[in-house]
Structure 1
Amino acid sequence: MRGLKKLCWMALAVVAVLGCGGGGLTPEEQERLVGSYRLPQDGVPNDNAPVGPFCCTGHTLIVREANAEGVLGYSYFYGWEGQAYIFGESSGAPDVYLLLSGRSALDSGNGDEEKGQIAFTAAELKAGASKRQRVGALEYIVTVDRVETFEHEGRPYFDMDSLEVSVDVLRAKG
């Protein structure tokens, strides 16, 4: 019994350090946390149709209130601007962006929708790389979990099938 109790305390210590999702967030950010997600895993496939404001391929994350009644925003995974290439069985692009949306007011239930994005160049794409963006009354923090990069004609590219990110969504300050 004593060993089990010690194991429980060790597990609680790990949870306190790492958090239950939203790892790396400050205590103040943890209080504002709406949810922690993984993309593409937690996204809804667009399947050539709109999901919220975003269409037509890829996956769209639907950010809901804790009671799952109201939609607070969306995150589209993903698009790119530079020239993408097919390399045998995979494709590569020099950059990537996630489109974001969030209601302008979360308490009213019907705030106007605002849009934004978070972008990375292939040179910036490394596990642990993170960027944040406020969109409406939400703050999105996107962290690269996994990606494979390579060079093509002297420029960095990423394997488009290898990208996985974590998305922490917080209520924006003031």
Structure 2
Amino acid sequence: MIWDDTLTRKIIAGDRTAFELCYRQLSPFVYSAIYKTCQDKELSKDIVQETFLTAFQQAHELNHDTNMLAWLKRVAFNKVINTLKRSNKFDGDNDAQNKVDVSDSIEASVENERLFLFILSKVSLSERIILWLYFVEQYKHHVIAELMGKSLSYSKLVVSRTISTLKKSPALVEVINA
């Protein structure tokens, strides 16, 4: 994807045509990131719409050197987390029973997209969001904790505990050998 920074300046100035182009170019990336974390097509579509509505309303507050995709993803992940909190989908993390273990090489293997997507499908919703933000979006632990409304150590604990649990599974062998 090639983003023209002059579009950012036009969006900040209120140019609707530039914003429409922004939507066409960047909404698939925003949707993909949202869907891979929450795994709900309708929710993902709704959040993309809400994200771009918020972006349109707040574009005048941006700096000219803002990384537009990174900013949009940040807005989107805030919306995902807030939506899931309001609907109590984080309470108890009902899909926690689907957790699976993986071998010792999880940290080195996380770059393998197939393995990572497999792992994401086997952890709870809140863990999935935290892992995505940490490994893919490369958010710092304190930023994730702030987004989730938790303590500074919350993100570190979830990442550490999830990796520890995943390291113990024979499922990694199946995925790597598939």
More relative contact order, 1 or 2 (CA 8 Å, 6+ apart) = 2
Both structures adopt the same fold (TM-score exceeding 0.5) = no
Answer 1 or 2: which has greater helix percent: 2
TM range (shorter): under 0.3
Answer 1 or 2: which has greater strand percent: 1
TM-score for both structures, normalised by structure 1? 0.24
TM-score for both structures, normalised by structure 2? 0.24
